[in-house]
Amino acid sequence: MTDVLAVVAEQCVLPVVTVESRETARQLGSALAGAGARAVEITFRSEAAADAIEALAGEGFVVGAGTVRSVKQVDVAIAAGASFVVSPGLDRVVVERCAAAGVPALPGIATASELTEALSLGVSTVKLFPAEVVGGIDLIRALAAPFPEARFVPTGGLNAGNARDYLALPQVVAIGGSWMVAPPLLTAGNWPEVERLTAEALALGRTP
């Protein structure tokens, strides 16, 4: 596991956020830092994604670029300061571009065939997406037997109620979730609530 992914694994819960402006990113950074977060995923679902990555990376966060679906987005993300790249699916070209740039890729997989391809590309830590739809905990357990080297970052449908169950699996290095940084909280500028929910989320990985 790379040093970058080790930071994500240590944090256990990775906030996955769509940010609409650099100013929002700045305020988000303050709230996340107050909660003790060191890593965050910023999705390419808004035009402000690159600005948000740059702002948070400049504040010392390990920033992942999420929802990356093209080589162009990989290049933009890395130029903005992204430390790793997360994709909703497995795209060989995206993975190879990340490898060439020396940036870890977390491609999304949902089947044994996709996991086989990821491993063939040298990627042993993958995103399981959408986790709660494709089989979640049962799928991870099923894949663990034929693929003991695989590690997972489940995302999609995770929340404070089921996070601990995922984190209890030895194959899960971290989970991704947006409940602590939900769009209504960001739109309302409710940063104390973002900080509180993030602190509670991070504690899920530290308490038995």
Query: Is 72 noted as a catalytic residue in this protein?
Result: no
Residue 143's Cα: distance from chain center in Å? 20
Residue pair 84/103 in contact by the 8 Å Cβ criterion: yes
User: Which two tokens mark 10?
Assistant: 């240590």
Question: What are the φ/ψ torsions at residue 44 (nearest 5 degrees)?
Answer: -85, 60
41 is known as an active-site residue: yes
* Beta strand spans in the chain (E): 13-17, 39-43, 62-66, 84-86, 105-106, 108-109, 125-128, 151-154, 175-177
For residues 73 and 50, what is the distance between their CA atoms, to the nearest angstrom?
A: 9
**76 and 50 in contact (C-beta within 8 Å)?**
yes
Distance from first CA to last CA of the chain, Å, rounded? 24
Active-site residue (options: 10, 20, 41, 114) = 41
Which of 100, 62, 110, 106 shows the shortest CA–CA distance to 87? Answer: 106
Q: In 3D, which of 32, 35, 87, 88 has the Cα closest to residue 62? A: 32
- Find the catalytic residue in 10, 47, 54, 127: 127
Task: Tell me which residues are annotated as active site.
Answer: 41, 127
